[in-house]
Structure 1
Amino acid sequence: MISTRQLKQALTWAIESPNLLVREANRLYYTRGYRRTFNHDGIDVVAEDWDTLIVLDACRYDLFAERSTLPGTLRERESRAAHTSEFIRGNFHERDLTDTVYVTASPILQRGYPERYNPKFHAVVNVWQEDGWDEESNSVHPETMVEYALDAAEQYPQKRLVVHFMQPHYPFIASETKLDKQTVPDPTEITTDVWNEMMHKSADIDPETIVDAYRANFDLVVPYVQQLLDELSGKTVVTSDHGNMLGERSWPLPIREWGHPPGVYTPELVRVPWLEYESGPRRTIVAEPPESDTADVEDDVVRDRLRQLGYAE
């Protein structure tokens, strides 16, 4: 059932941005009238066999298949998500993950904890806090993620690791593009993001430039993933939380879609890579009580990081 708030939002979109209204109609279709909070047809990544799960944020399957040089066996899988929040809810929410350590460049888990999603990890390493965050690029660099991931592997030798890189999600730190860096000129106020700028057709930039920047961000992260494959023992899977629309037609209403709006499960958004690679002995995994409460992070830091990554409140 549509709430009063959702109806008011739809009326606002109808006046200010018809494309966003059409997007909402597509979302209604995919979520069965807002009754689904994630894509129920996707795989349960926790139930799969791995010691380390490397998550590349917003990485399409076709991008990975065309440009990856990583060793291993690649398959296409269907994600439970079109957005990181859905990936977390669909795979981690209210689950006992005390055998797992989550090393993440994304603040999304923290934003929704514990009301929207409440996983029980053994430990969460928020790389985006303080030292892990790069103020110039408004992101976490992949080399920083490698450092934290290897430290976690050493500190928690009997735990599964989830290593969540920010790339190829924007900001496009491998490119000289300005739109993705200037989307949030004032971190205290955000009204849009780079993908909505493309949806509105208000961005003074060639769409192919944005597509090239997205590809370059993927190329940037690949060598660092390779480093983890080389140094981590056991079975490693490289995947993505969701894909990304790059101007393709959505469905069932065929607007040109950009980005990764939650609740819109087009093939470009839910088809993700699943690369399996084994090196050295498997880890002996042991579940132990959580080390600390995930909530021990200041709310203003979470909000600031999310704004800089282009996530609205």
Structure 2
Amino acid sequence: MRELSVHSWIDRAKRNWKSDKKRAVLEAAYCLYLGPWFTATSRRPIGTNVYDLEWDALIILDACRVDALRYLAPEYDFLDARSIESILSVGSGSREWLVKTFNEDRLEDVQETALVTANGFDRDVFMNGRYLPGIAVPFCWPGAEPVTEHDFLRYDPVWRDCRDERLDTVPPEATTNRAILAGREADADRLVVHYAQPHTPYIADAVMDGGRELTDIEQSAWGALKQGSVPNEVVWRMYLNNLRHALDSVGVLLENLDAETVVLSADHGEAFGEWGIQGHPTGLPHPHVKRVPWATTTATDYESVATDDIASPAANPTEDDGTVEEHLEALGYGKF
């Protein structure tokens, strides 16, 4: 459910009570908290809106932690661990970041922005105008509504025609290619490129193994951690490999894009057991979730990737709500 409804909130709590009383109480309390959280922070955001900072191209690495990017920085010429700063994100989940970044208060900025995104929340936020979190809340009064897909100078929802069914996500190479196309074709003041990685599913090892199917742990790492069937260190290694996989592709983008100031950042971070929390629940003021990297570099288009080799965006994507839900479920959303 993605709606404002006291009845839906009560009905969901009753259904949960029949199967898991503890879950019912926790989820009901969480949803009750999200209403005032979204109401208050939509008016006075806790964090920095990226439009308040200087950049020509903004690369969003979904769920990237500050310490993870600093750890891998020595492996990449375009990163310097000592100069990687951090900011407080306006959200602790993708939907929250989207609605608090691209909203009516920032309309003029959005109208000069080209957005290339592999994040499936774009339909809910920009096409359906849904501000609320991923489960029913009893009340909420947003301070600023999100923009629509038509407000962007260029809008390319990559995940709707580049999703790899075997991997259950959009590979970073597909996002990079479409970002190269946008950079060369769109006369935009700013370019935002939203990668799906290092967010789950953790596809890096499967890709290295020739594109095999994902294991249950690679597909649903958080469930495995909660069940105690895998040590935290194993999931952390897969997470870092997923980040490497994205950064390899970012390196290609930086050699096929002209931008004086490029920033690598994230919509939110990720918790790996700190405070007893796994993942990135919406509305969570957790330091490893709310604080994200801010790494500045530059890009020059050497045209090592030919535009003719890149497929243009689908003119009329036909994804229905069921497909959208499947995509978000594959990313681990839709469950409390």
Normalised by the length of structure 2, the TM-score is: 0.73
Match status 1:107 vs 2:128 = no
Match status 1:16 vs 2:36 = no
Match status 1:71 vs 2:76 = no
Aligned length: 283
Check the 8 A contact 1:102/1:163 in 2, yes or no.
yes
Match of 2:9 in 1: 6
Q: What is the CA-CA distance between 1:88 and the residue it aligns to? A: 0.5
Match status 1:156 vs 2:186 = yes
Match status 1:257 vs 2:277 = yes
Q: Using the alignment, how far apart are the partners of 2:69 and 2:279 within structure 1? A: 17
What is the identity, as a one-letter code, of the residue corresponding to 1:276? Answer: T
Q: Using the alignment, how far apart are the partners of 1:272 and 1:280 within structure 2? A: 25
Match of 2:265 in 1: 239
Which is further off, 168-177 or 99-108? 168-177
**Larger helix proportion of the pair:** 2
Q: What is the CA-CA distance between 1:26 and the residue it aligns to? A: 6.6
What are the residue-to-residue correspondences of 1:150-299 with 2, within 5 Å?
Answer: 150-175=180-205, 178-180=215-217, 183=220, 194-196=221-223, 198=225, 201-202=226-227, 204-233=229-258, 234-249=260-275, 256-279=276-299, 297-299=318-320
Superposed CA offset, 1:57-86 (max 9, x none): 001111112222333642111000110001
Which ranges in structure 1 are unaligned for 5 or more consecutive residues?
Answer: 184-193, 250-255, 282-293
Match of 1:175, SS state, is helix
Q: What is the CA-CA distance between 1:227 and the residue it aligns to? A: 2.3
What is the identity, as a one-letter code, of the residue corresponding to 1:129? Answer: R
Check the 8 A contact 2:170/2:196 in 1, yes or no.
yes
Superposed CA offset, 1:196-232 (max 9, x none): 553xx33632232222211111121112212223332
Which is further off, 163-172 or 88-97? 88-97
Match of 2:175, SS state, is helix
Q: Using the alignment, how far apart are the partners of 1:108 and 1:125 within structure 2? A: 13
Given candidates 43, 55, 61, the residue that maps to 1:56 is 61
Q: Using the alignment, how far apart are the partners of 2:103 and 2:24 within structure 1? A: 28
Which is further off, 219-228 or 19-28? 19-28
Check the 8 A contact 1:37/1:263 in 2, yes or no.
no
Superposed CA offset, 1:170-207 (max 9, x none): 11001356225555xxxxxxxxxx43553xx3363223
Q: CA RMSD in A?
A: 3.2
Q: What is the CA-CA distance between 1:118 and the residue it aligns to? A: 2.5
Q: Using the alignment, how far apart are the partners of 2:237 and 2:168 within structure 1? A: 19
Which ranges in structure 2 are unaligned for 5 or more consecutive residues?
Answer: 131-145, 207-213, 302-314
Structure 1 segments of 4+ aligned residues over 4 angstroms from their partners: 7-15, 19-34, 180-183, 294-297
Match of 2:246, SS state, is helix
Percent identity of the aligned residues?
28
**Larger strand proportion of the pair:** 1
Check the 8 A contact 1:137/1:181 in 2, yes or no.
no
Q: Using the alignment, how far apart are the partners of 2:251 and 2:332 within structure 1? A: 28
Given candidates 84, 96, 108, the residue that maps to 2:94 is 84
Check the 8 A contact 1:236/1:277 in 2, yes or no.
yes
Which structure ranks higher in relative contact order (CA pairs < 8 Å, sequence separation ≥ 6)? 1
Q: What is the CA-CA distance between 1:248 and the residue it aligns to? A: 1.1
Which is further off, 159-168 or 225-234? 225-234
Check the 8 A contact 2:56/2:191 in 1, yes or no.
yes
Check the 8 A contact 1:28/1:34 in 2, yes or no.
no
What is the identity, as a one-letter code, of the residue corresponding to 2:87? Answer: R
* Aligned CA distance change for structure 1 residues 232 and 20 (closer, same or farther; 3 Å): farther
* Aligned CA distance change for structure 1 residues 170 and 216 (closer, same or farther; 3 Å): same
Q: What is the CA-CA distance between 1:7 and the residue it aligns to? A: 4.9
Match of 2:326 in 1: 304
Match of 1:162, SS state, is strand
What is the identity, as a one-letter code, of the residue corresponding to 1:18? Answer: K
* Aligned CA distance change for structure 1 residues 29 and 309 (closer, same or farther; 3 Å): closer
Q: Using the alignment, how far apart are the partners of 1:62 and 1:219 within structure 2? A: 14
